C-alpha cells in the first residue's frame, strides 16, 4: 500500500510570502480589520461583568437610577464598538475577496509562465491530467485556505489570546481549570487530527492521479473501443478510484470524529468551571487574580461565557487545521511545479535580420528575407554568418536516461538544400535525431553544428525559429483556420497564409468550408479529417519559411490521392531548403540526396536510393517488401 505523502516544511511561510509580495498594503489593512473584529468579539464578557458588578454594588441601596445610567453608557459604548466591528468585518471580507482571487490569478500566471520554460522531459514524465489538476483542484484548495482557513485561524487565535488575558485578569484559578481542558483538546486534536491530516495529503495526490488517468482514457477512447478494452479500463479505473476512496474515507472519518469530541470536551469544561466557580463562591475562597479582584458572582457568570468562547475558538482552530493541511497539500504540488528546473539555455548566438553591403553581411532592423547568426566572441568582436541550413552531427551519443544510451556514434552531413531521409523500424532513433537538432534534448557526447556553429552556443528560441517542423501528431488550437496557419509566423499577412495553404494543397478544402479561412476550429480541429488537419500543419510550417524543415511522418495520415497533391506542395516547399524526412512510405523519399537506415540507434546504411538498392542490404529488403519496417 502506498504511503501517504507528507506536507513540506516552510510551505505556509512561502504562501504568506507570496501574499505579502503581491498585496502588501491590502493585506496589512485586512489584518488590521481582522484584529479589530476579533478583539471586539471578546468585549461582551467584560461589559457583562461591569453590568453585573454595578447591579451587585447597588442592589442593596436601591439606587436604580445610577444603575440605569451606568448600564446605558456601557450599552452605548458596546454598540459603538459593534458598529466599528461591523465596518471592519465588511471591509476585510471585501478586501479578502480581492486578495484571494488576485492571488490565484497571479499564481496561475506564475505556474503557466514557468510551465512554458520546462524541458520536454517534464511533459514526457507527467500525465496531462495530473498537470491540469494543478490549475483546478490544487488551486481550489489554496483558495479555501486563503479565503477561509487562514483568516479564521487569525480571528480565532487573536480571540483566544484576548479572552485568555481577560480570564487571567479575572481569576487565575478558574483560568487554570480552563487551560487543563484545553490540554485535553490539544491532545485530541493531535491524535485524531494528525491522522486525518496525513490522509488528506494522500487524497490530494490521488485526485491528481485519478484526473490524469481519466484524461488518458478520454484521449484513447478509439483505441479502447477498437481493442474492446472497456472492461480492463474500468478495472484500472476502479483500482485508482478505490485508492482515492480509501484515503478520502479515512481523512473524512477522522475529521468528522474530531468536532464531536472537541464539542463535548468544551461542554464538560463548561460544567467543571461552573462547579469550581460555585464551590469557590460558597466556600468564600480567596481569589487569586492579576488584578487582585475577589471572586464574586459578577465574575463567575461572565467567566462561564468566556469559557464557552475560549473553547469555541480553540475548536475553530482545530477544525481549520485539516483545511489548512489540504491547502498546504495543494500548495506543495503547486510549488513542486514552480520548483521544477527550467530548460537550461546558455546560448549567446542569436538570429537577426541581415543584408549584404559591399559583400559583407550586416545586421538590419527591417525584414529583408535574409537571416544571419550574430556571434559575439570573447575578445568583444562580432561575426555574422548567413543562415543557410548546414547541419552536421559528429559522433553523437544520446540517452533519455544517462545509463540508457539510445543513439550511438551518429555522424551525418546535411548541406544546404539537401534532403536527408531516415528509415528504420519504430524505436530505431529517427525522431530522436530530429529532437536533438531542435535541442528538445541535449546530447550526451559528440557535437552538432549548425552553419558551422555549435548549437549549444545558439539561443534555443533562435535555433527553433530557424527550423520548420511538421509532426505525425497534429496539434491545432482554438481559433480560425487562418489563425492556426499564422501560428507559424505571427506577423504573417492573410495573403502569406493563403499562399502557404496553396503550397501545402490545403486551399481547396478550406475554401469549401462554411466560412473558408475564417472557419472556427476547436477541440484540436475535431471537425476536420486527420488528413485535413495535417495539411493545415504543413501550411503552418510553410508560412514560417524556414531554411531547415523537419518532416516527421508528415504524410502518414493522408490517403494516397491526397498524398500526391501534398507531395507536389512539399516538393515546392522543400526546394532550396535542408530537409530531414522521417517516413514509413519509402516511395516519398526516393528523391532524397541521402537515405540513412537506422537500427537500434545506429546508422547501418547510408546513400542514395539507387546506391542502397544496389547494395541489397536492409534498405533493399525494406523497399522490395522482404522486410517490414514494423
- Tell me, yes or no, whether 112 and 17 share the same domain: yes
Domain-embedded: residue 352 = no
Domain-embedded: residue 397 = yes
Three-state secondary-structure class, residue 307: helix
Three-state secondary-structure class, residue 489: coil
Q: For 268-296, how does the pLDDT look when each residue is reduced to its tens digit (9 = 90+)? A: 888 888 888 777 777 765 555 555 555 66
- Tell me, yes or no, whether 317 and 182 share the same domain: yes
Q: What is the pLDDT of residue 556?
A: 62
Q: Range of 73's domain?
A: 11-339
Question: Strand pairing of 548-552 and 578-582?
Answer: parallel
Beta strands per DSSP E along 511-575: 520-521, 548-552
Pure H helices in 377-445 = 430-437
Q: What is the pLDDT of residue 106?
A: 93
Start-to-end CA span in the chain (Å):
39
What distances in angstroms separate CA 64 from CA 67, 299, 398, one per listed residue? Answer: 5, 21, 95
Q: For residue 546, what is the enclosing H or E element? A: none
CATH of the domain at 96: 1.20.1560.10
Query: Which portions of the chain are predicted below pLDDT 50?
Result: 1-7, 626-630
- Tell me, yes or no, whether 455 and 335 share the same domain: no
Instruction: Point out which residues pair with 468 in neighbouring strands.
Output: 549
- Tell me, yes or no, whether 332 and 397 share the same domain: no
CATH of the domain at 536: 3.40.50.300
Question: Strand pairing of 467-470 and 548-552?
Answer: parallel
**What whole-number distance in Å separates Cα of residue 528 and Cα of residue 22?**
44
Three-state secondary-structure class, residue 599: strand
- Tell me, yes or no, whether 417 and 289 share the same domain: no
- Tell me, yes or no, whether 405 and 320 share the same domain: no
Helix-, strand-, coil-residue percentages of the chain, each rounded to 5: 60, 15, 25
Q: Tell which of 339, 371, 405 closes a domain.
A: 339
- Tell me, yes or no, whether 396 and 321 share the same domain: no
Q: What is the pLDDT of residue 618?
A: 87
Nearest residue to 405 via CA among 598, 602, 596: 602
- Tell me, yes or no, whether 262 and 136 share the same domain: yes
Phi, psi angle pair for 109, to nearest 5°: -65, -45
- Tell me, yes or no, whether 39 and 180 share the same domain: yes
User: Are 446 and 418 spatial neighbours (Cβ–Cβ below 8 Å)?
Assistant: no
Domain-embedded: residue 351 = no
Domain-embedded: residue 571 = yes
**What whole-number distance in Å separates Cα of residue 540 and Cα of residue 486?**
6
**Cell numbers linked to 418:** 539537401
- Tell me, yes or no, whether 333 and 399 share the same domain: no
Q: For 177-216, how does the pLDDT look when each residue is reduced to its tens digit (9 = 90+)? A: 888 888 887 787 777 766 776 777 777 778 877 877 887 7
- Tell me, yes or no, whether 303 and 160 share the same domain: yes
Three-state secondary-structure class, residue 275: helix
Domain-embedded: residue 356 = no
Cell 485530541 identifies what position?
188
- Tell me, yes or no, whether 150 and 299 share the same domain: yes
Cell 490540554 identifies what position?
183
Cell 487574580 identifies what position?
289
Domain-embedded: residue 410 = yes
Domain-embedded: residue 361 = no
Nearest residue to 619 via CA among 440, 481, 428: 428
Q: What is the pLDDT of residue 60?
A: 62
Domain-embedded: residue 367 = no
Total domains, the chain: 2
Amino acid at each position: 500500500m502506498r504511503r501517504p505523502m507528507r506536507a513540506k516544511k516552510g510551505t505556509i511561510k512561502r504562501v504568506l510570502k507570496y501574499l505579502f509580495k503581491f498585496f502588501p498594503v491590502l493585506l496589512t489593512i485586512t489584518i488590521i480589520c481582522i484584529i479589530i473584529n476579533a478583539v471586539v468579539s471578546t468585549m461582551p464578557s467584560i461589559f457583562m461583568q461591569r453590568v453585573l458588578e454595578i447591579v451587585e454594588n447597588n442592589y442593596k441601596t436601591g439606587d436604580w437610577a445610577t444603575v440605569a445610567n451606568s448600564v446605558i453608557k456601557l450599552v452605548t459604548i458596546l454598540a459603538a464598538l459593534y458598529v466599528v466591528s461591523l465596518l471592519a468585518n465588511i471591509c476585510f471580507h471585501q478586501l479578502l475577496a480581492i486578495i484571494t482571487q488576485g492571488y490565484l490569478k497571479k499564481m496561475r500566471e506564475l505556474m503557466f509562465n514557468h510551465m512554458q520554460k520546462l524541458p520536454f522531459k517534464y511533459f514526457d514524465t507527467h500525465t496531462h491530467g495530473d498537470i491540469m489538476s494543478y490549475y483546478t483542484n490544487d488551486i481550489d484548495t489554496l483558495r479555501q485556505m486563503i479565503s477561509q482557513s487562514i483568516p479564521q485561524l487569525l480571528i480565532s487565535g487573536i480571540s483566544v489570546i484576548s479572552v485568555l488575558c481577560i480570564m487571567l485578569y479575572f481569576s487565575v484559578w478558574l483560568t487554570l481549570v480552563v487551560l487543563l481542558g484545553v490540554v485535553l483538546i490539544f491532545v485530541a486534536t493531535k491524535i485524531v487530527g494528525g491522522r486525518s491530516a496525513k490522509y488528506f495529503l494522500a487524497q490530494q495526490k490521488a485526485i491528481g492521479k485519478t484526473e490524469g488517468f481519466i484524461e488518458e482514457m478520454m484521449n484513447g477512447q478509439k483505441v479502447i473501443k477498437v481493442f474492446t478494452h472497456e472492461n480492463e479500463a474500468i478495472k484500472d479505473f476502479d483500482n485508482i478510484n478505490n485508492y482515492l476512496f480509501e484515503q478520502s474515507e479515512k481523512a473524512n472519518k477522522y475529521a468528522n470524529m474530531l468536532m464531536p469530541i472537541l464539542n463535548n470536551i468544551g461542554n464538560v469544561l463548561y460544567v467543571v468551571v461552573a462547579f469550581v466557580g460555585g464551590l469557590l463562591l460558597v466556600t468564600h475562597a480567596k481569589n487569586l487574580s492579576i488584578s487582585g479582584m475577589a471572586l464574586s458572582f459578577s465574575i463567575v457568570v461572565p467567566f462561564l461565557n468566556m469559557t464557552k468562547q475560549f473553547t469555541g475558538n480553540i475548536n475553530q482552530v482545530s477544525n481549520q487545521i485539516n483545511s489548512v493541511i489540504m491547502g498546504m497539500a495543494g500548495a506543495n504540488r503547486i510549488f513542486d511545479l514552480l520548483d521544477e528546473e527550467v530548460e537550461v539555455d546558455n546560448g549567446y548566438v542569436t538570429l537577426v535580420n541581415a543584408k549584404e553591403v559591399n559583400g559583407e553581411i550586416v545586421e538590419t532592423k527591417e525584414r529583408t528575407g535574409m537571416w544571419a547568426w550574430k556571434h559575439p566572441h570573447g575578445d568583444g568582436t562580432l561575426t555574422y554568418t548567413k543562415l543557410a541550413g548546414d547541419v552536421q552531427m559528429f559522433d553523437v551519443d544520446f540517452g533519455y536516461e544517462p545509463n540508457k544510451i539510445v543513439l550511438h556514434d551518429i555522424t551525418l552531413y546535411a548541406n544546404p538544400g539537401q534532403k536527408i531521409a531516415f528509415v528504420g523500424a519504430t524505436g530505431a532513433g529517427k525522431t530522436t535525431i530530429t529532437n536533438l537538432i531542435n535541442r528538445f534534448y541535449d546530447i550526451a557526447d559528440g557535437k552538432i553544428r549548425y552553419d558551422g556553429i555549435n548549437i549549444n552556443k545558439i539561443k534555443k528560441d533562435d535555433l527553433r525559429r530557424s527550423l520548420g517542423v511538421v509532426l505525425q501528431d497534429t496539434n491545432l488550437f482554438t481559433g480560425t483556420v487562418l489563425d492556426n496557419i499564422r501560428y507559424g509566423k505571427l506577423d504573417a499577412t492573410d495573403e502569406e497564409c493563403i499562399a502557404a495553404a496553396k503550397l501545402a494543397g490545403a486551399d481547396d478544402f478550406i475554401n469549401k468550408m462554411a466560412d473558408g479561412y475564417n472557419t472556427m476550429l476547436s477541440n484540436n480541429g475535431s471537425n476536420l479529417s486527420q488528413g485535413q488537419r495535417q495539411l493545415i500543419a504543413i501550411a503552418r510550417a510553410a508560412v514560417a519559411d524556414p531554411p531547415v524543415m523537419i518532416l516527421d511522418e508528415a504524410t502518414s495520415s493522408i490517403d494516397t490521392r491526397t498524398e500526391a497533391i501534398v507531395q507536389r506542395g512539399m516538393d515546392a516547399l522543400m526546394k532550396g531548403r535542408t530537409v530531414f524526412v522521417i517516413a514509413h512510405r519509402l516511395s516519398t523519399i526516393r528523391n532524397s540526396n541521402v537515405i540513412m537506415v537506422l537500427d537500434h540507434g545506429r546508422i547501418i546504411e547510408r546513400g542514395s536510393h539507387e546506391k542502397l538498392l544496389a547494395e541489397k542490404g536492409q534498405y533493399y529488403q525494406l523497399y522490395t517488401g522482404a522486410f517490414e519496417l514494423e
